[in-house]
Amino acid sequence: MQFLSILVHPRTDSDDYGVVDGAYAACWVNEPTLELAEAAARAFLEASGWDAEEVEEAYSVNRERYLEQERSLSLFDQALTDGVVVTLHTWPVGAPEDDS
C-alpha cells in the first residue's frame, strides 16, 4: 500500500470550480510501487474532476502504522477493497496564503 499527498485544483468543468481554489488529496493506493500508485491516484483524481499537480509526499505504508488512528485505518482498509481511496483537504477561492 502506498500513501501520497498531491496538490490538486478543480477542473473548469467541475462543480467545485470557482468555489474551491485547491486541495491536498490524501491518497491511499493499493499498488506495489510508488510509480504505479501515483499513476492510479492521478487517474482517479482526473476522473473525479481534479487536475493533479505535484506530489507533496509519497511513501509505502502498512496496516500497523494506523492501528491507533481509527479514521486512517478505515481509509487504509477501504483502499484494500477499492484500490484507491482519496480524501480532500480543500481551501476556498480567496483564502489567504499561509506564508509560514
pLDDT tens for 3-57 read 999 999 999 888 888 888 999 999 999 999 999 999 999 999 999 999 999 999 9
For the chain, the domains span: 2-91
Q: Would you put residue 84 in left (φ > 0), alpha (ψ -120 to 50) or beta?
A: beta
Residue 99 in this model has a pLDDT that exceeds 60: no
> Which tens digit of pLDDT belongs to each residue from 64-90?
999 999 999 999 999 999 999 999 999
- Return d(Cα 41, Cα 39) in angstroms, integer: 6
Q: Give the CA angle between residues 62, 71, 95 to the nearest 5°.
A: 110
SS3 label, residue 18 = coil
Could you tell me if 75 and 85 are in contact, meaning their C-beta atoms sit under 8 angstroms apart?
Answer: yes
Does the pTM of the predicted model rise above 0.85?
Answer: yes
Residue 97 in this model has a pLDDT that exceeds 80: no
Residue 96 in this model has a pLDDT that exceeds 90: no
Q: What is the dihedral of CA 21, 70, 66, 100, to 10 degrees?
A: 30
> Which tens digit of pLDDT belongs to each residue from 48-70?
999 999 999 999 999 999 999 99
pLDDT at position 52, please?
Answer: 96
